[in-house]
Amino acid sequence: MARVFVGMSGGVDSSVAAALLKDQGHHVVGVYMKNWSQDLPGMRCPWAEDLADAKRVAVGLGIDFQVFDFEKEYREKVVQYMIDEYEAGRTPNPDIMCNQEVKFKLFLEAALEQGAEMIATGHYAKVEREELAQGARLMRAVDSEKDQTYFLYRVTAEALTKTLFPLGEYTKQQVREIAKEKGLFTAHKKESMGVCFVGEVGMREFLNQFVEAFPGDIIDKQTGKALGRHDGALFYTLGQRHGLDIGGGLPYYVVGKDMQANQVFVSTNLNDAAMWPNELSLGSVHWIHNPPQSHENLTVRLRHRGELLPVANLAMGSDTTMLSLDKPERAVASGQSAVIYRGDEVLGGGIVV
């Protein structure tokens, strides 16, 4: 059995992951990653409570426990990335960057330095290990509703060979049942929502603390008429309907932004071409192993829990990859990730330009 360092967030998923690994006979060490501890005006960061919960579970399981402080690196690699992307008018996914830069890089490196043979997390995903040159493949979890492979597509092949996902074969309901059976007090703990590293905080409230946003016009794309005012173009994303405050008549949707002019464009036309792309340009493309062949039967997911959409064609260039869909998809914003699958296997993907 292996010496496994398990990332423990204080939630039910990572608690059960640690418990399952211990049952399998591994020498388990629980690790809380201290990524963010800053309180914001009117928003208290829950890190101390989460740390206490993780430690309490570790004590109950009788496993060693450590704290890895990645706050400086996290602010530089994840938080600043997110802020920069929003300021550029894009819609990033900080959870994906957290997995790439922190959980499956910094955490893995620190764990290996301290004698770990493997790391594990409470993600709903699977790793298939084969006696092949490629080593390990990232696969979708059994629970399609909870599957988190969308957030994991930028993990490297090398990291996968050192990673365990104990929850990949379980549903969320089964995980909660296991937690109850084992007497883990996190069995009934609510899942944290909102910004990945701050807890119950909305993205707008978080960004307001770090960026200077300026009011500007909300413009009807069809008529060119100013319909109202926004409080910062960076807060709006393609397809957004709520929060526009320009009521009356048919609902308006965001169909574009001009960050230089600080303008947000809206339309009542649900068939606006900007809302229904069927060809996407992808940058920062990452393949876990080799790039797929264009003739393969591939699907793409454009948002977490989004439908797996058939890929019509994948044309790879030196800087960008062109992804053609079988049919147009609604409101694909720049900054989102497009994750490519072959059956249940995650091949990689890129960020919509």
Q: How many helical (H) and strand (E) elements, i.e. helices and strands, does the chain have?
A: 9, 17
Contact 24, 33 (CB under 8 A): no
User: What is the rounded CA–CA span in Å between residue 198 and residue 312?
Assistant: 39
Residue from 8, 57, 98, 152 carrying the catalytic annotation: 98
Angle 23-181-196 from CA coordinates, rounded to 5°: 80
User: What is the rounded CA–CA span in Å between residue 181 and residue 167?
Assistant: 16
| CA distances from residue 184 to 13, 17, 187, 309 in whole angstroms, order as listed | 11, 12, 6, 38
User: What is the rounded CA–CA span in Å between residue 132 and residue 229?
Assistant: 58
User: What is the rounded CA–CA span in Å between residue 192 and residue 11?
Assistant: 8
Residue from 8, 196, 254, 314 carrying the catalytic annotation: 196
Contact 13, 176 (CB under 8 A): no
Burial of 247 (0-12, 13-18, 19+ CB in 10 A): exposed
User: What is the rounded CA–CA span in Å between residue 319 and residue 198?
Assistant: 34
> How many residues make up the chain in this entry?
353
User: What is the rounded CA–CA span in Å between residue 280 and residue 333?
Assistant: 10
Catalytic residue at 196? yes
Catalytic residue at 45? no
Cite the active site residues.
98, 196
